[in-house]
Chain A
């Protein structure tokens, strides 16, 4: 497929400025989230490379098209990591290609560790982007604490390229993990699992993963070896019952990567929904959903649901607050149901107002977010 593939921010700005019609903005193209966009494809893939990495300051800056794996490899060399454990959705979407760091930001992709270390937007400390008029702009920077002016960094994270095409991103980092363990409680119901997860997350033992699938409740502990052993024991005592402990680092990492990536979740052709609620609402909501498979992450705060194509899960137990995103579905279903959760009128007005300022010609991924 022919794509506009600028090699610099200046070229990117020029391409946006010169655009005659809508642009379909993508990074690696591995996460087709949101309503389908018709337009000339523009990829940030050509903007590649780590611009600055200071391990002693726990910060990294990279061009948006830099492959995620390149960023993660550079960090691993210095025993550091992105705190939010970005998930790889190639499996669930059946996409090929290479996830980019800018794509991670545009979709605010955060894995199981979000519950402890925050989302992508919480680690993101700076962005450069090109708005819909083709202006190169910046917000934030490369320092961890920065309240200078409005926080457009957060606004750009999760804006799916509809407010600007991200050209460079900066993150704060965390030290690598010395040791880890997964505690598994078998044979729990959803209600029991959510109660277990809440109890664990309300303990002082710094749980960094809290998930549930097919009767198994999973908890993760990370840190120095002695500390992991101590907290695993304390947590086991607190929760009681029969608990399996896995402390092989590779095995622990494998399980949580699979949870984040939704490995083996749902069947081909099914729709997949991503639902954000307060954890204690999870059991009653799941009860109400006509889903053939569910997976709980974030201690109950994130529910993945797989169901027959075209099912409107927003119609079930609508009194439960939070939001429900139609994550994977046919274009037709996305258009019928809307990919993103409808928002109240005052918020819609603000969103539209922002869009009209950042992209006055309405050419950046028009319609993607509704």
Chain B
């Protein structure tokens, strides 16, 4: 993966930059020592690393505005960073950039249970948003796997999803308003505690723009009352095709589970070895969860089990207690860790129409043979959001490149099947150069024109989202 070479003029301005940033912030909020900036050299896409010029950790919206104003005047690129959990390299610095971290901005500003929203500073972690309202039996719905660590700032930048978004939607469906700082330091508010936009839906445009249009410092989020209960059922099948057909039949039957998770044999075996959740040894496994009162759950699961039985499952296990539910989820939740025990892995997140599931899984199997790299599949089957995990050895020369080439083939396959490159992780640097597989030059151009409007100097989160060749003239301007 190429990154543009750093601009020597900017590198030469480091002393002036650090001095001006230090004047604008409280002491200790600017990190410029080369040993210390190393902590920010990468996000969760650890294959790529580059220490930034310096790091700032502002505490308020006004401080963010001051930082951006300085960087705007000095033409210094800024990489906004939440908790650095991006799997797509969304927070990867360039050597000539300032990392703007939201870590010190984690206050709850307002909770309102009558109107069902919470207003937070965006450095707050996803799970601690729910933590702030759960004593009133409320929760914040989007639940990315990294929710213990990931920040709302990053969730908004990437429009993060999670296992339960089949019912509750992703970040953009749960975001009511933002306070945002433009690259030139202008502070603006979009949306609020009300439900819809006055004019253009700029909130919808900001969400998922990967930190390239502005820095979101505060967010008003919709909170929901917790359901009375939830219960999963585990189903084992002797082929991916049959499991895929079962998913489709459940959806067609008119039940809407909160989650339908799919794991294939390599992942089942890995998680059994790692976590010992007691999964059956079979080709494909589904975890289907429904919510409601006990009786409502019984009714929905009854229908789901009836459908599953028609597909000759090798195992059907309905949870009868909280412990059993936890055991059913245990393997799924430790799947990434389990695969990581075997080897290094690259996690993709292309999305496909659910109907193409069997075909895409078969083709991924063929690619696995062709490249000689093992693949495990674990994903949100209800919405077609796949997570193929390609195993490789980072210490073996050429293995990373081989893995990336295979990943690119899988993502092109997702697009061919009528899907997209990324369902919830974002483009970042990882899928940047594949954008041409999904979009025409004109489709990309209109998106880049949007950035022209919000960030005319192209300083925010450079070299992400758009293929380097497509964005070159703008970045060089």
**Which residues of A come within 8 Å of B, CB atoms?**
54-59, 78-79, 108, 110, 114-115, 118-119, 121-122, 131, 135-139, 141-155, 157-159, 163, 174-176, 178, 195, 198, 201-204, 223-224, 226-227, 230-231, 234, 276-280, 298, 301-302, 321-323, 325, 340-341, 343-344, 346-347, 350-351, 353-354, 357-358, 369-370
- Checking A57, A158, A226 against B354 with a beta-carbon cut-off of 8 angstroms, the contacting residue is A57
CA distance A157 to B196 in the complex (A): 11
| Known contacts A54-B355, A145-B165, A149-B439; is-contact A350 B453 (Cβ 8 Å) | yes
- Checking A149, A230, A369 against B427 with a beta-carbon cut-off of 8 angstroms, the contacting residue is A149
| Interface locus among B49-57, B317-325, B413-421 | B413-421
With both beta carbons as reference points, the residue of chain B lying nearest to A129 in the complex is identified as B446
24 contacts between A and B (CB under 8 A): A57-B248, A119-B196, A138-B443, A141-B420, A143-B418, A145-B385, A148-B421, A149-B438, A149-B439, A150-B447, A150-B450, A150-B465, A152-B205, A152-B446, A154-B207, A159-B200, A202-B116, A227-B299, A230-B295, A302-B195, A325-B198, A351-B202, A354-B453, A357-B449
The reply to whether B205 and A230 form a contact with Cβ atoms under 8 Å apart is no
CA distance A223 to B137 in the complex (A): 22
The reply to whether B447 and A149 form a contact with Cβ atoms under 8 Å apart is yes
Say yes or no for B114: interface residue by CB 8 A criterion. Answer: yes
With both beta carbons as reference points, the residue of chain A lying nearest to B356 in the complex is identified as A57
Number of interface residues of B (CB under 8 A): 94
Q: Would you list which residues of chain B between 392 and 448 have a CB under 8 Å from chain A?
A: 418-427, 431, 435, 438-440, 442-444, 446-447
Q: Number of A-B pairs whose CB atoms are under 8 Å?
A: 259
Say yes or no for B188: interface residue by CB 8 A criterion. Answer: yes
**Which residues of B come within 8 Å of A, CB atoms?**
112-117, 137-138, 158-159, 161, 165-166, 169-170, 172-173, 182, 186, 188-190, 192-205, 207-209, 213, 225-228, 248-249, 251-256, 292-293, 295-296, 299-300, 351-355, 380, 383-385, 418-427, 431, 435, 438-440, 442-444, 446-447, 449-454, 465
The reply to whether B197 and A158 form a contact with Cβ atoms under 8 Å apart is yes
- Checking B169, B209, B248, B384 against A143 with a beta-carbon cut-off of 8 angstroms, the contacting residue is B384
Enumerate chain A residues within 8 angstroms of B424, measured Cβ to Cβ. Answer: 145, 147
The reply to whether B209 and A151 form a contact with Cβ atoms under 8 Å apart is yes
The reply to whether B352 and A139 form a contact with Cβ atoms under 8 Å apart is no
- Checking A146, A350, A369 against B454 with a beta-carbon cut-off of 8 angstroms, the contacting residue is A350
Enumerate chain B residues within 8 angstroms of A147, measured Cβ to Cβ. Answer: 158-159, 161, 170, 208, 422-427
Enumerate chain A residues within 8 angstroms of B203, measured Cβ to Cβ. Answer: 154
- Checking B228, B253, B380, B423 against A146 with a beta-carbon cut-off of 8 angstroms, the contacting residue is B423
Enumerate chain A residues within 8 angstroms of B198, measured Cβ to Cβ. Answer: 276, 323, 325, 340-341, 343
With both beta carbons as reference points, the residue of chain B lying nearest to A58 in the complex is identified as B251
- Checking B170, B225, B425 against A204 with a beta-carbon cut-off of 8 angstroms, the contacting residue is B225
Enumerate chain B residues within 8 angstroms of A298, measured Cβ to Cβ. Answer: 195
Enumerate chain A residues within 8 angstroms of B226, measured Cβ to Cβ. Answer: 204
| Known contacts A150-B209, A175-B256, A347-B190; is-contact A145 B351 (Cβ 8 Å) | yes
Enumerate chain A residues within 8 angstroms of B169, measured Cβ to Cβ. Answer: 118, 122
The reply to whether B450 and A354 form a contact with Cβ atoms under 8 Å apart is yes
With both beta carbons as reference points, the residue of chain B lying nearest to A164 in the complex is identified as B446
| Known contacts A56-B252, A137-B442, A144-B383; is-contact A301 B435 (Cβ 8 Å) | no
The reply to whether B450 and A230 form a contact with Cβ atoms under 8 Å apart is no
Enumerate chain B residues within 8 angstroms of A231, measured Cβ to Cβ. Answer: 293
How far, in Å, is A193 (CB) from chain B's closest CB? 13
CA distance A276 to B117 in the complex (A): 15
CA distance A61 to B423 in the complex (A): 19
Enumerate chain A residues within 8 angstroms of B209, measured Cβ to Cβ. Answer: 150-151
How far, in Å, is B190 (CB) from chain A's closest CB? 7
The reply to whether A151 and B205 form a contact with Cβ atoms under 8 Å apart is yes
The reply to whether B186 and A346 form a contact with Cβ atoms under 8 Å apart is yes
- Checking A141, A148, A323, A369 against B194 with a beta-carbon cut-off of 8 angstroms, the contacting residue is A323
With both beta carbons as reference points, the residue of chain B lying nearest to A157 in the complex is identified as B201
CA distance A260 to B444 in the complex (A): 38
Enumerate chain B residues within 8 angstroms of A108, measured Cβ to Cβ. Answer: 196, 201
- Checking A154, A174, A198 against B204 with a beta-carbon cut-off of 8 angstroms, the contacting residue is A154
- Checking B114, B256, B355, B450 against A57 with a beta-carbon cut-off of 8 angstroms, the contacting residue is B355
With both beta carbons as reference points, the residue of chain A lying nearest to B293 in the complex is identified as A230
Enumerate chain A residues within 8 angstroms of B205, measured Cβ to Cβ. Answer: 150-152, 154-155
Given contact pairs A58-B251, A350-B454, enumerate 16 new A-B contacts (beta carbons under 8 Å). Answer: A57-B251, A136-B442, A144-B166, A144-B383, A144-B385, A147-B422, A147-B424, A147-B426, A149-B439, A175-B255, A202-B225, A227-B296, A278-B115, A353-B454, A354-B200, A357-B450
CA distance A55 to B353 in the complex (A): 11
